[in-house]
Structure 1
C-alpha cells in the first residue's frame, strides 16, 4: 500500500504539542518526538500521512515550501565550536540544495565514529571552520539538529591548514585520520570523510 495523506484544518506553531507518539504514530517532516509526544517544529498545518500500518504526523508551513533537515538527510555543515564533548556547527546544505537560512547542528562525541567511541577526542576530529558531511539523527529537541559522522563517507571534507597564514590553504587527506598542508607538509588530525560519488549518499529526494 502506498502512502495516503490526510489534510487537517489544525494550525500549529513551533513547539506546539500535537499528539501522543507510539509505534504506529511517528513524527514526520516538520515535527519531532520527545518524551512520548509529537511536537511541531514549524508554523503551518498538520497533515497525517498513512503508510501501511503507520501514521506519520507532518507539518507543512504556509506559503512557499521551506526545506528543513529531517532524520536520514545528509547535510553539509561548517564547524563553529569544538569542546571535549561535542562540536557545534551551522548547517548550510541538504544534499545538493543550498539553504536560504542556516540551521544549528550538534555533533556529540558518541556520534563521531561507529567504533571505539570511548577513544574519540573531539579536537583530533574537528576544528572550527572545517566543512563536514553528516547525517541527521531523529530530532529530540527543537533548538538544534543532532548529527552523526559515524560512517566512512561522512566527516571532514574541507579543512584549512592552521600554519598556512591568514588566508588558509586547503589541506589534502592522506588517511582516515589525517590531512596535510600541501605547502608546509604539516599534518593535522581529522575525522576524514571518504569522498564517494554523490549518488552513493542516500538523502531525501525533493
Structure 2
C-alpha cells in the first residue's frame, strides 16, 4: 500500500544517480534523479546483487467515468442552434470525466410536454451548466441527452449582465445583479 510520502510531483528530487538507475517517469540532471510525472515513487530491484535498483514513478491508473444509457450527467453548454444544444460532459453519476465527451440535447428532448413549442435558445445558453440524462449513445461524435424530467435542466447559469442566475420557476431564472428574468429550462432543486 502506497503512503502519502510516496506521492511525487514533476521536478521533485528523488535520489542520487550513484544509488539508483533512472527508470520510467524519472530523469537525471547533475547527478540527481527527479520525477518527470505526477505519481507514486517506486524502487525496483534488479536480479543481480551488484546492480543498482531502478527509481521509477508510476502514474495512478484512474479510469475516466464513461457515460452509459440512463446515467445522469453534468455538462456545459458550448453551442446552441435552433435544432439542438451541444454540450461537453464533465461529470457522470457523480464521477468526474478525465476524457472529453460531447453530447447533444435535441429540441424534442428538452421537455416532456409541449415539445413542438420548445425553442432551444429559450432553454439553454452557452456557458450554462446542465444536469441531463443519457438517452442514447448517439452517433460517433456525441451522446444524446434529455432534460425532460423535472429534476433535469439548467442548474447554474450566468446572465447577459454577468450575474448568477437563480431559478424562480420551471422555465425562468432571475439575475442576482439586475433582477432581469431570463428564460431557461430549469432543473428542480434536489
Bin of the TM-score, shorter chain as denominator length: 0.5 to 0.7
1:142 to 124, 140, 143: 140
Query: Can you list the C-alpha shifts for 1:144-184, whole angstroms capped at 9, x where unaligned?
Result: 10000000000000000112xxxx32111111111001221
Aligned to 1:176: 170
Give yes or no for the alignment of 1:194 onto 2:182.
no
- Equivalent residue pairs, number: 130
Following superposition, the deviation at residue 101 of structure 1 comes to 2.0
Query: Matches of 1:64 and 1:169 in 2, distance apart?
Result: 36
In structure 2, the CA distance between the partners of 1:77 and 1:169, relative to structure 1 (3 Å rule), is same
Query: If the length of structure 1 is used for normalisation, what is the TM-score?
Result: 0.61
The offset of 1:64, in angstroms, is 5.8
Counterpart in the other structure of 2:89? 91
Q: Which ranges in structure 2 are unaligned for 5 or more consecutive residues?
A: 1-60
| CA shift for structure 1 position 65 | 3.9
- Looking at CA atoms only, which structure, 1 or 2, has the larger radius of gyration? 2
Find out whether 1:107 has 2:105 as its counterpart.
yes
TM-score, normalised via structure 2 length: 0.66
Structure 1 unmatched ranges of 5 or more: 1-62, 197-206
Q: Give the aligned CA root-mean-square deviation in angstroms.
A: 1.2
Higher relative contact order (CA 8 A, sep 6+): 1
